[in-house]
Structure 1
Amino acid sequence: MFTTSQKNTILLKLAEKLEQRSGEIIAANGRDREAYPNMDTSVKDRLTTDERKIASMAESLRQVAALPDPEGKVLYAFTREDGLRIENRTVPFGTILIIYESRPDVTIEAAATAFKAGNRILLKGGKEARHTNLQLAALWREALVEEHIDENYITYLDLSHDETQRLIRENSRHIDLIIPRGGEGLIRFVRENTSIPLLISGRGNNFLFADRDCDWRMVIDIVLNGKSRVSVCNALDKVLIDEQLPDISAKLATLMDALTEKGIHVTGDAAVHRLYPAITQETDAGVLSQEFLSPRLYIATASDTQDAIETINRYSGGHSAAIVTNRGEQADAFMQQVDCAAVYQNASTRFTDGGQFGVGAEIAISTQKLHFRGPLGAQELVTNKWFVYGNGHTRI
């Protein structure tokens, strides 16, 4: 255990090193991208580490350093009549293993979040980002050593698939919690090979519902923003439109024009195709459950707000959902009943992010209900312990 000042000093030193050594990081990232020239657009977007992304990582470190220390916070205090003093305080989980795919920024941002909460961190990134991750992990070690902290407090695991499987099955490193960050395949792999507790960073597949009483220009703006980055989990995949929306065919045409201009491929259900035949009817029955991670959007109709709520709860990933409406009562019903980690009225799902929510860098966006939901910052990466102080007390 070390002090808040030490934690913050290390985070700030690391931010400086990122900026000073950006050329080395970009060169390492170039080797990664050259090794996988045929990667799809969404993977390339997640993998690419340029000056802008490095600046963002450095800023996230400074944000985490500025946050209160989540460790050692008194949650409850009680002194009995006999003088026995009881406190419940926050403590680190212990050792957290973060397994992730092609996002080198996780090596900085997720690790920083867990580190601020006092946890030891094991990092296992994807092979496609190996050179970048090793470069970033080396900067972590430098910052730790300079503050006289064990450089293994944050460890990058350069392991094969089989070695990773063996680690999480046998738990040879005494891991207390695993956070898998990636697609359903990665999450399934971890679930099937370990008995260690998991904190799931779930998939997106986010929905927007356009109510019959809405500002249609706002709908278009929010939908376009929802597709401004297609490779992220807070991107928009589905749009449901109230079938009683006035001039629905004409409005579909304006939305379609805006999406086509941005290179978004649009399909829809049978009702949408009838209303605006230029939208191709989708024949894949499973489309409502799919997270696209691509320039693709699916549009369907809903009979009313309740129908939209039921559709979202049946098919979404439980990540984010939005309603665009001028009716406060409908917005309240939607936001209370939709079973997602973040719900929005008249705003883009792209805001579901630790930095945007003011918690600094996030370790994940949890879609499970225990132990926390949504962007997980340092404040959520602690558990609790009871501290009891007596003077020879015995129970009668």
Structure 2
Amino acid sequence: MNTLLSIEWRNKVLLKMATLLEQERDAIISINKTDLENYKGEDISMYDRLKVDDSKVDEMIKSVMHLASQDDPVGVERFRFKHENGMQVYNKTASFGTVLIIYESRPDVTVEAAGIAFKSGNKILLKGGKESTKSNLKIVDLWHQALQDNGISTDWVEYLQFNRTETQAFLENPTQQVDLIVPRGGERLIAFVKQHATCPVIISGRGNNFVYVHKEADLDIALDVIINAKTAKISACNALDKVLIDENLPNKEAFIKTLISKLKAFDVEILGDEALSKHESVDAFESEDIWYQEFLDFKIVIAEISSNEDAIAKINKYSGGHSSSIITKNDTVAKAFMENVDNAAVYHNASTRFTDGSQLGLGGELAISTDKLHQRGPIGLQHLVTNKWYIYGNGQIR
């Protein structure tokens, strides 16, 4: 086990990492182009996640700078109690020890997620996808340089160049201590990790997010939210997949026609229920199973629904437990929706695209958990800790 680094040394490494990312910006982008050229798949969301450009490097730098400015999440007092026998009892946050991050196609995870885990006092094991190997190894080299320049062992950040068989073997019988695993990727990756892991796993689950347009909706807000949530970044887990429209919405037909037109301007494939599929440019979906699907593509399902209660029930049955939004001027209806939809993040008159650590005030995120333990939604710096009891006595026995 690595001895906990002081917060001063952790911050020095993060600030050095920011400097190196800026210095090596062109090299990172150039190496990433090789990964992009080697990617032969047809998954446009995978390609989008794989790509590193200037704005992605800017985000990486911003994330480590912000982490360096944040308070130490380790050693924070959560509870204190003085026992009647005189013992002083404290509960404080503590690092997990070693965190393994398994991820697909996103070189920025090698900076942002690793940075959060490092600032939280953990040793980092990284296992990226083969499609981003060159980009990831370049960034890990920078981590090692940042550590070495501060006289700290490079063991704190380790990259595992394992194939699938080797990864499975490591999960089932780790050759070193692993205290927590965070899979970042699609449902197949998450299922694979859950099946084989022998230590706790934080599930960063699927999206399949919903917007419900209530009969008292502001229709301009509804249009803006739907278009943004669907088209701004289709590879994001907070992107929109399903729209439910109140069948009693005034001017419903005109609203639907405008919505279809705006979605078609972005070449979004529109699938609809019986009521919607009578519109031009909307295809009827063939199976109810489509309600379970996360698309990560320019594709959306639109349907009519009879009430707020029915919308809540449908979302709770089919969604991935990630994010849902209600568009309404009625605060009472919105309150009922937000309290009863079983999602990590619920919105009133805003886009699901804000379910993101930096957007919700955390500065960054390790993952977005759809589990209810140990943290739900974006997992920021202050959540990537466990806890520990400190008891001070002078000979007390029970």
TM-score by length of 1: 0.98
Equivalent residue, structure 1, for 2:182: 179
Moved over 6 A (4+): none
Listed one character per residue, the Cα deviations across residues 112-131 of structure 1 (whole Å, up to 9, x for unaligned) are 11111111110000000000
Counterpart of 1:232, as a letter, is: A
Judge which range, 55-64 or 316-325, deviates more. Answer: 55-64
Shift in Å at residue 277 of structure 1? Answer: 4.4
1:103 correspondence with 2:143: no
Cα RMSD between the aligned structures? 1.0
Equivalent residue, structure 2, for 1:248: 252
Counterpart of 2:84, as a letter, is: E
Distance 1:82 1:297 in 2: 64
Distance 2:51 2:280 in 1: 38
Return the match for 1:219 from 222, 245, 249: 222
Aligned residues: percent identity?
47
Label 1:192 to 1:32 Cα distance change in 2 as closer, same or farther (>3 A): same
Return the match for 2:163 from 146, 160, 180: 160
Shift in Å at residue 16 of structure 1? Answer: 1.2
Distance 1:39 1:153 in 2: 35
Distance 2:83 2:184 in 1: 44
Unaligned runs of 5+ in 2: none
Counterpart of 1:117, as a letter, is: S
SS in 2 for 1:223: helix
Equivalent residue, structure 2, for 1:41: 44
Equivalent residue, structure 1, for 2:78: 75
Equivalent residue, structure 2, for 1:8: 11
Q: 1:336-375 maps to which residues of 2 (within 5 A)?
A: 336-375=339-378
Counterpart of 1:380, as a letter, is: H
Equivalent residue, structure 1, for 2:206: 203
Equivalent residue, structure 2, for 1:307: 310
- Verify the 8 A CA contact 1:76 1:88 in the aligned structure 2: yes
Return the match for 1:267 from 256, 268, 271: 271
SS in 2 for 1:141: helix
Distance 1:249 1:47 in 2: 40
Distance 1:301 1:73 in 2: 49
Judge which range, 344-353 or 20-29, deviates more. Answer: 20-29
1:113 correspondence with 2:113: no
Return the match for 2:68 from 65, 69, 80: 65
The count of corresponding residues between Structure 1 and Structure 2 is: 394
Counterpart of 2:81, as a letter, is: F
Counterpart of 2:273, as a letter, is: D
Counterpart of 2:7, as a letter, is: T
Distance 2:199 2:219 in 1: 48
Return the match for 1:17 from 10, 17, 20: 20
TM-score by length of 2: 0.97
Shift in Å at residue 287 of structure 1? Answer: 0.7
Listed one character per residue, the Cα deviations across residues 109-165 of structure 1 (whole Å, up to 9, x for unaligned) are 000111111111100000000000000000001111111221111111111111111
Unaligned runs of 5+ in 1: none
SS in 2 for 1:297: strand
Distance 2:18 2:40 in 1: 30
Return the match for 1:32 from 25, 30, 35: 35
Distance 1:62 1:268 in 2: 45
- Verify the 8 A CA contact 1:181 1:364 in the aligned structure 2: yes
- Verify the 8 A CA contact 2:206 2:294 in the aligned structure 1: yes
Shift in Å at residue 64 of structure 1? Answer: 1.4
Counterpart of 2:222, as a letter, is: V
- Verify the 8 A CA contact 2:126 2:160 in the aligned structure 1: yes
Label 1:34 to 1:278 Cα distance change in 2 as closer, same or farther (>3 A): closer
- Verify the 8 A CA contact 2:212 2:246 in the aligned structure 1: yes
